[in-house]
Structure 1
Amino acid sequence: MAAVAAMGLALACTLSTPARADDYTDVGQLIRSGKLVEAQAKADAYLAGKPRDPQMRFLKGVIQTEAGKTDDAIVTLNALTQEYPELPEPYNNLAALYAGQNQYDKARTALEMAIRINPSYATAHENLGDVYAKLASQSYSKALQLDSNNKLAGQKLVLLKEVLTPPAKPTKGGAAKPAPAASK
């Protein structure tokens, strides 16, 4: 689910006014620089004065995600979906968190909601495809577990694992290292 993991910094909520854009830009730059403690402090200071601001709350969820505080990020993003159900981005990011916890049904539901809100949200469509592929992989694995002679399910599973394996990353010399083998 490379696309799901990559979307964490999409920062797609664009509900700001130009006067507040600097705060969002500053927090976004701190996140991209890996200065999560500073980003969190700046976001919290901003939210102390404007606690309902959806874009800064979204950024707070991104910070929590990047800091490995998945449960906190889920709470933050769920609150956004409740208070601002018209925004698809929190649903998309929730899906990434759920997928990271192997909760693919919850991820699917969140992505379907993002797409219902914004049918042209390409990232959510791609992420939904990844979730469906992961669900299919689980079903083919179960089919093989129940019937080890099911060659067709085995072939489909191999193909899906190839699709779900991230591409190899180039080394310093420019040649790509082989991708790690997919786990069962």
Structure 2
Amino acid sequence: MLALVLGWAGSARADQYADVNALLRQGRANEALAKADAYVATNPRDPQMRFLRGVILTDQGKQAEAISAFTALTQEFPELPEPYNNLAALYAAQSEFGKARDALETALQRNPNYATAHENLGDVYVRLAAQSYTKAQQLDKRNTTVAPKLTLLREVFLPKAAAAKVPPAQPAAAAPATDAGTPAQR
């Protein structure tokens, strides 16, 4: 479950957040979304419920809608780092690592002590490194220094099941690591 670290809320609001979170934990995402939507309809400037709504959309696999929800939050509440972090996770899931990096750097400008964003930025840099190494390998098949780096990235960052699907790095073009370090949403 994603940690919500957004502002204070009164007890009535806290109950609404707790209700939506409980529905989501129970696997009743459609009900959670309906409740969040109803709340946001009457409280459109509430960033916490809007953030939670984006989390629900993400959990439902509605990436485009979740990206829209988090993007709107970054535009209306640019001081909040969490929406940028969640945008980064969505971008990384779509292999848009440049956008993910930019979103995480913005999150860290907003809160330099945001540990999750620091970890996620490291994961994104690993993915960018794998892409660069793969490109270098494609451009210069005689380069012998790239293959060991790709192999090391795969061994360290790929889950065991995913690593079995990825061929070992070879002097010929190899696929970039695709499952390494997908940023966490929090």
**Which of 3, 18, 35 is residue 25 of structure 1 equivalent to?**
18
Q: After superposition, what is the alpha-carbon deviation per residue over 1:147-184, rounded to whole angstroms, capped at 9, x for unaligned?
A: 22222111111111122213x5xxxxxxxxx6642532
What is the aligned partner in structure 2 of residue 91 from structure 1? Answer: 84
Tell me if structure 1 keeps the 8 A contact 2:133–2:149: yes
TM-score (norm 1): 0.85
The residue aligned with 1:181 is: 164
TM-score (structure 2 length as normaliser): 0.84
SS at match of 1:48: helix
Q: Which amino acid aligns with 1:18?
A: S
Write out aligned runs for 1:8-157 (5 A): 9-157=2-150
- Flag structure 2 segments of 5+ consecutive residues without an equivalent: 167-174, 176-186
SS in 2 for 1:12: coil
Deviates more, 1:55-64 or 1:140-149: 140-149
Q: 1: CA distance between counterparts of 2:165 and 2:96?
A: 19
Q: Residue 81 of structure 1 contacts residue 91 of structure 1 at CA under 8 Å; is this kept in 2?
A: yes
Q: How far apart, in 2, do the equivalents of 1:59 and 1:43 lie?
A: 8
CA distance in 1, matches of 2:155, 2:79: 36
- How many residue pairs end up in the alignment? 167
CA distance in 2: counterparts of 1:141 and 1:26, whole angstroms: 47
Give me the whole-angstrom Cα distance separating, in 2, the residues matched to 1:54 and 1:68: 21
- Separation in structure 2 between the aligned mates of residue 135 and residue 80 of structure 1, nearest angstrom: 26
CA distance in 1, matches of 2:107, 2:156: 24
1:19 is displaced (CA, Å) by 2.7
Higher relative contact order (CA 8 A, sep 6+): 2
Q: Which residues of structure 1 form unaligned runs of 5+?
A: 1-7, 169-177
Matched AA of 1:24: Y
Query: Which letter does structure 1 place at the counterpart of 2:27?
Result: G
Q: Name the CA distance, whole Å, in 2 between partners of 1:123 and 1:11.
A: 12
Q: CA deviation at 1:16?
A: 1.8
- Aligned-pair CA distance for 1:93: 0.1
Question: Structure 1 pair 123/87, CA: closer, same or farther in 2 (3 Å)?
Answer: same
Distance in 1 between the 2:110 and 2:83 partners?
Answer: 11
Q: Specify the SS of the correspondent of 2:145.
A: helix
Equivalent AA in structure 1 for residue 45 of structure 2: R
Q: SS of the counterpart of 2:164?
A: coil
SS at match of 2:45: coil
Percent identity over paired residues: 60
Counterpart AA for 1:43: A
Query: Could you tell me how far apart the structure 2 residues matched to 1:47 and 1:104 are?
Result: 31
